[in-house]
Chains A and B, each alone.
Chain A
Amino acid sequence: MKSTLVELGAERPRSVYAVVLFLIVLTGALITRIEIDTDPENMLPAHQAERVFHNLVEDRFTLHDALVVGLVNDDHPSGIYNRESLTVLHELSAAILRLDGVIAPDLMSLAEIDNIGQEGPGTIRFEWMMRGAPVTEQQALEIRDKVSRLPLLLDTLVSGDGKAAAIYVPIASKDLSHPLSLEIRALTEQLDSDDAFYITGLPVAEDTFGHDMFVQMAISAPLAGLMIFLLMLYFFRSAQLVIAPMLVAMVTVIVSMGSLIGLGFTVHIMSSMIPIFLMPIAVVDSVHIMSAFADSYSPESDPKATIVRVVEDLITPMLFTSLTSAVGFLSLLLTPIPPVQVFGVFVAFGIMFAFLLTIVLIPAYIVRMKPSALAKLTSRSRTPHTDTLLARALRGTGRFAMRRGKLITTVAVLLVGISIAGVLRIEINDNPVRWFKANHPIRVADTVLNEHFAGTYDAFVVLTYEDGDALPRFIATANALLANLDRELVPAVREALDADTDEVGAYYGALIAAIDDALFEADGQATIDVLGRLMSLAEDAQTTSKYFQRPDVLRDITGIQQALTDSGFVGKTNALPDVVKVVNRELRGGDTADYRIPESVAGVAQTLLQYQSSHRPQDLWHMVTPDFSSTAIWLQLKSGDNQDMSRVMAVLDSYVDSHPLPAGVEMGWAGKTYINVVWQGAMVSGMLKSLAGAFVTVFLIMALLFRSARLGLFAMVPLSVTIVGIYGIIGWVGKDYDMPIAVLSSLTLGLSVDFAIHFIERTRALIKSSGSFMTATAQIFEEPARAIARNAIVIAIGFTPLFFAPLVPYITVGAFMAGIMALSGIATLVLLPALMSWAGPWLFTETRKPGELSVPAPQATSV
C-alpha cells in the first residue's frame, strides 16, 4: 500500500497537483466563513454546572459584562474633585451613553447615579449626584462630601484617595468590548483635559486579545514560515527544493483550518495557534526526505528511483512519528475543555494529513524538477553536507557521547533531579489581562486602576433561599380554609390559588389581589371571615418568602461581607445590607450611629421602598431578586489572578464552615474571575490526564514499532527528559503555569518523540546493514543526525519571530519551541548514544544475532 502511494506521486505528479489544488481551493474558500470566539467562558462546555449557574446569575440579577473607564488626576490637590475633571467626567459619561451597544440604564458614573442626603432637619433629599457638571470648585467639593457618605460608591466610582473616578460601562455583548474600547478611547482623546484616561476590565482584555491574536496570526505565522524557509534554504541551498516542504506546510495549514471552520467550529485562542503548531510539524518529514535525497542523489542516478527508495526507507519512521505526534495531540481529548479538544483533534488531523501529503507531494515535486536543477542541487550540496560545521560537530558529539556515556548519563540524571525539584515549584495561575505585555495599555490601565480602586475584577457570591415545603404547605392550608366555602362564590381566588407557582413573588401578589377583590365583592359575614383569614395567611406566606428582606438574614450577609473584607484578598464587597443601611441612616437624619439595619421586616421593606424611589429603581435588582429569594454579593478584586480568586474562595469556605448557612440557603459563585478559575482547574487536571494518556499510548506504539518493550522505553527517554526539563525550567524561572504552557506539553511530547524514533529506527537499520554496532553508531551521526539537527534548528530558530509578538502566549510558544527543540535534540543526539554506549547490546537485540545482519542494506549511505 505504502509503495503504491509513494509511486503514485512519482508516476502521476500532475494528478497529485490537481487534487492538492482542488483541496486548497475548497478548504481555502471555507476559511472565509471564519467565526472568531474570544470568550473564555467557552473554555467550559455549555452544560458545565458552574457555567450554567454563572449565566443564570447574570440573568437573574441582570448583570452585564462591563468596561471600566478610569479618569485619574494626580496633580490637583482635590484629585478629580475639581471643576475641570468633573466636567470632563460628565461629558464623557454622556458621550459613552450615546454609543451603540452600551446598556445605558445600567451605566454607572457620578453623572448617572443618585444621591440621598439631608436637606435641613427632618427633610430628606433624593437627587442626581451630578445632574450637571459643577460650575464652581465649591460644588465639586460638595460632591466629594456626598460621595464620602455613600459606601456603595466610594472606592467603586471614586477612589478613596479622590484621585480617580470610574465609569462602569455595561455592554450588550462581549464582542463589542474591543470596538467600544476604541470608540471610548477616541472620545477621551477629543476631550480637552489633562487627566489621564484608562480603559480596562476582563471583557476588554479578552476581546482585545482576540483582536490582537488575529493580527498576530497574520504576522507571526507567515513570518515563522519565512524564517523556516530561509533556514532550509541555508541547509539545502536550493530554493526550488525548499519550496516543496513549504508547500506541504501551507497546504496542511489551509486544509486543516478550512476543515475546522467548514465543520462549523469557531476559531478560539487555541485554534488560532493551529497554524503555528502545524507548520514545524509539517516540514519535519519533508526535511528528513530531502536530507536523505540530497545526500543520496547523484546526477547519474534516476531521480524517480532515488526518491521512491528514499521515501520507502523513511516511510515507517515517518508514519510512526506522525502517529505518535498525532496521539500526543489527540490526547487533549481527555481535557474537558472544548476549545482544547478541537485544537487537539485538528492538529492531529493536520499531522496525519501532512504525512500523507509529504509522501505523495514530495516525490511528485522532485520528479517534476528539471535535471539541471537536480544536478545543481547535488553539486552544491554534496561536499558541504558532509563537511559542514554541523556535520563535523555532530560527528564529534557522537564520538564524545559514546566515549563518555556513563558521565553523560550521570549528569542527565542529576539534571532530571534538579528539574523535578523545579516542577514541584510550579505555580498554577492565569489571568487574561496578563496575556498582554506589561507595557500594553490594558495592562497599564489594569495596574493603575487597581492601585486606586477597590478592584476592577468582579466575582459574585450568590445566596439563594428555597423552602420547598412552604408553598405546598400554604396551598394545603388555604384549600382547607376554602373547603367550607362555596367555590362558586370566589372563582378568581380559586383560580389564583391553583395558578402556576413558578415565580413565588408573582404568585402571592396575584393571589392577594384576587382575595382583595373578592373581599369587596363578597356578601355574607361567613365569606368575609374566610377570605379575611385567607388574606392574612397569604400575606404571612408572602412576607416569609421574602427571605432576604429579613433583618437577621441581612446581618448574616454583613458577616460574610466582613469576613471577605477582613481576609485582605477582597478590595470591597457591595450588597443589599449596604443599601439598607445607607437609606436607613439618611431616613433617620444622617447620623453615623444609624448606619444599621432596621429591626423589623417592615422597616427593611419600607427602607427599600424609599431606595426604589430614585432615578434608578432597577439598581436594586442587581443585588436581590424581586421576590427576595436570592441575593448577590458583588466582590471587587484588585487581581484577576486565579490564585487570588482561589484564595478568596478558600476564605469564604472556611467562614461558612465556622458559620454554617441557615437551613434552606444555598451558596454559589459566579462572575468572570470565578469562571476563569473553574476552567483552569479543569485544564490542569485535564492536561495531566492527557499527558499520562499520551505517554502510555506513545509507549505502546513505540514498543509495537520496535517490537521491543526495551526500545519502546528507550525511545521515551528524550521526550521524558524534555518534558521534565522544560517544566523544571518553568518552575525554577517562576513563570506561572497558564493555558499556553499547559497545552505545550502535548507539543513537547509529539515533537521530541520524533527525533527518538528516527534515531533508533535508523540506528537499527544501520546495525543491520553494517553488521557492526560501532559502525552503526558512527554512521548514525552522519545523514540521520544531520536530519535531526537540521529539523531542531529549523523549528527552534523558525519561531524566533514570535518573540517579538506583543502577546505573552505567543512569546511563550516561541520560547517553548526553541526550548523543546534544543532539549529534545540534545537528549536524542547526546543522551541516547550515551545510554547506548553502556546499554547498547541490551537494547538492540540485533547486535546479538549476527546471523541476521547479512541482509543487504536498502539504503546506500552517502558516507
Chain B
Amino acid sequence: MRRKLLLTLITTLTATGALADPLTDADEIVARANLAAYYGGSDGRSEVRMIISDAQGRQQRRQFTVLRRDIEDAGDQQFLVVFSQPSDVRNTVFLVDKHIDRDDDRWLYLPGLDLVKRISAGDKRTSFVGAHYFYEDVSGRRPSEDHHALVETTDGTYVLKHTPIDPQTVEFASYVTWIDRNTFLPMKIEYANAAGKLYRRVEVFEVEEIDGHPTVTTSRVSDLLSGGQTDMQFRYIKYDVGLPKTVFTERSLRNPPADRLRRPEK
C-alpha cells in the first residue's frame, strides 16, 4: 500500500508539471540517470530476490545481499554480493571493484569448492548467475561506452537512443531508454540487435522513495527471443549505512561480514 502511494505521488508530481525546464543535453541526462540508478547516497545495502523463469514458466530463485560503497560520485565503486538462497549456493560471494578509467576487478568465492578466483575482466555482458540480468546490469554500464542521443522529451520522460562506441564488445546494436524526468531513473530499456530486432527489455514496475532516494524496488528483464524472464525484487534497502573500506576486501570473500549483512531493523 505504502509503495503504491509513493508511486502515485511520484507520478502525480510528474504529471502536474512540477518539473524544471526539460534538459536537452543527452549526455547530461545520462549522467544524471547514472547517478540516480547507481550512486544513491554514499553507500547502500539491498537484498535482491530473483525469480528466473524460462519460456515454460519453470522457475529458479536466487537471493543475495548487495553492499555498495562509492569511492566517488559517478566514479569508482565497490560491490560485495553475498548469496543466501538457494542453500546449495549459500555464501557464494562476488566482490567487484568498479573502475571508470580501466577494467573492473572482480573476485569470486565458492564455498562448496573452497575456492577464491579472480574473474578476468573479459566480457561483462554475460548472464549473472543464470538470470537474464547481466553482470553489467548489476554494477552499471559506463556512460562513456556509448553515444547518446535524445530522441524525444515527453511530459514525464526523456527518450534516449544509445549506440555503442565499440560494437565488437557488445551484443546489441543500439538500445533505447525511457528516463523519468523527475527521478532520472530509467524506467524502460529496449535492446535491438544487428538485424534491428528487439530482443531484450528491462522494465521497472515499482519505485519507492527510501532515505530520500527514489529507488527501484521491482523490475523485470525479458528475453524477447527465448521468452524467458527474470523478476527482481529489491528489499531491505538502506542508504548511507556507513560501510567501511574493509568490508570490500578479499577477506570478506571467505568471511562475509555478518553484521553488515544483517537486515536493518523494521
Interface residues of A (CB under 8 A from B): 59, 62, 94, 97-98, 104-105, 114, 119, 122-128, 131-132, 503, 505-506, 509-510, 512-513, 516, 520-521, 539, 542-543, 546, 549, 584, 587-588, 598, 600-607, 609-610, 612-615, 617-618, 620-621, 625-627
Contacts and interface: CB of A to CB of B under 8 A. Distances in A.
Interface in B17-61: 49, 51, 54-56, 58-61
B110 interface: yes
Nearest to A520: B263
Interface string B129-149: 111000100000000000000
A621 B236 CA distance: 32
A510 B61 CA distance: 8
Given A105-B225, A513-B61, A543 B88 contact: yes
Given A123-B120, A606-B92, A615-B126, A503 B58 contact: yes
Given A122-B118, A512-B86, A131 B112 contact: no
A513 B49 contact: yes
Given A606-B111, A614-B127, 11 more contacts: A114-B126, A125-B119, A125-B120, A546-B88, A587-B115, A601-B112, A603-B110, A607-B113, A613-B129, A617-B131, A627-B58
Contacts of B88: 543, 546, 549, 601-602, 605-606
Interface in B151-173: 168, 171
Contacts of A602: 88-90, 111-112
Contacts of A62: 54-56
Interface of B: 49, 51, 54-56, 58-61, 63, 84-90, 92, 108, 110-113, 115-120, 122-123, 125-131, 135, 168, 171, 194-195, 223, 225-226, 228, 236, 263, 266
10 contacts: A123-B120, A126-B126, A131-B168, A509-B59, A520-B236, A598-B112, A602-B89, A607-B112, A613-B135, A615-B125
Q: 5 shortest A-B CB distances, which residue pairs? A: A602-B112, A612-B130, A125-B120, A605-B88, A603-B112
Point out which of A521, A612, A625 has the most chain B C-beta atoms below 10 A from its C-beta.
Answer: A612
Contacts, number: 149
A489 B89 CA distance: 29
B89 to A, nearest CB: 5
Contacts of B126: 114, 126, 613-615
B129 A124 contact: no
Contacts of A506: 58-59
Point out which of B111, B129, B266 has the most chain A C-beta atoms below 10 A from its C-beta.
Answer: B129
Contacts of B116: 122
Contacts of A615: 123, 125-127, 171
A503 B53 CA distance: 12
A606 B110 contact: yes
Given A512-B85, A609-B92, A618-B54, A503 B120 contact: no
A613 B59 CA distance: 17
B91 to A, nearest CB: 9
B116 to A, nearest CB: 8
Contacts of B59: 503, 505-506, 509-510, 626
A59 B63 CA distance: 28
B130 A609 contact: yes
A598 B189 CA distance: 39
Point out which of A509, A542, A600 has the most chain B C-beta atoms below 10 A from its C-beta.
Answer: A509
A128 B123 contact: yes
A284 B128 CA distance: 73
A56 to B, nearest CB: 12
A127 B123 contact: yes
A584 B113 contact: yes
B261 to A, nearest CB: 13
Contact of B127 (A94, A607, A617): A617
